[in-house]
Chains A and B, each alone.
Chain A
Amino acid sequence: KQEVTQIPAALSVPEGENLVLNCSFTDSAIYNLQWFRQDPGKGLTSLLLIQSSQREQTSGRLNASLDKSSGRSTLYIAASQPGDSATYLCAVESGGYQKVTFGTGTKLQVIP
């Protein structure tokens, strides 16, 4: 059974700082990994999707990497802004078509 862990559960940083969010998964036989952000009481916004054959994906100030062998993914946010404050979730598709397991999320607060 796939298990997805995100550490830390919460993170507070000053504006402008570069930061890394971590996602670990137990079963390395994945199809893809997706990063989302969730604002309080809202739905999920897709940030980046990394296919199992890829090592990283970039979108603007965001860069996500994937290391299947070690069961890890990182989301790098450059020059953080208060608008980046949200909960960040990673989700792994594995173990069958469209079998997606979500992590518990990292709640990020960027302080002006």
Chain B
Amino acid sequence: SAVISQKPSRDICQRGTSLTIQCQVDSQVTMMFWYRQQPGQSLTLIATANQGSEATYESGFVIDKFPISRPNLTFSTLTVSNMSPEDSSIYLCSVLPVSNTGELFFGEGSRLTVL
């Protein structure tokens, strides 16, 4: 398994500002992902964070809006840029441990409210 720490756990932000969410894992993992969960909805994959290279974004998500970094095997950041109320969601970091059984593990999430 993997223990995942996400910061901040919640924040209230003003329209037009940007916020960076951090994800720290207690052990090396093969893959890290960022998901969004809008109110009352299920999870949608934003991107796969690739170590040392640009993230792989899913359809509908772009790097300018959601820049992602992954400088090493245990840490990643997601920035939500130029926020609008529609960005109010829970953002979740997920990892695939090196055991690679296919089992995903999630952080506690970052609840973001944009006014």
Contacts and interface: CB of A to CB of B under 8 A. Distances in A.
A93 to B, nearest CB: 6
Interface bin, chain B: 20 to 34
B51 to A, nearest CB: 15
Nearest to B90: A41
B37 to A, nearest CB: 9
Interface string B39-63: 0011111001000000000000000
A16 to B, nearest CB: 29
B83 interface: no
Interface bin, chain A: 20 to 34
Given A98-B48, A104-B41, A46 B31 contact: no
A32 B101 CA distance: 9
Contacts of B96: 98
B43 A102 contact: yes
B16 to A, nearest CB: 25
B111 interface: yes
Interface string A30-49: 01101010000111111001
Contacts of B44: 102
A49 B42 contact: no
A45 B109 CA distance: 11
Interface of B: 1, 4, 6, 31, 33, 41-45, 48, 90, 92, 94, 96, 101-109, 111
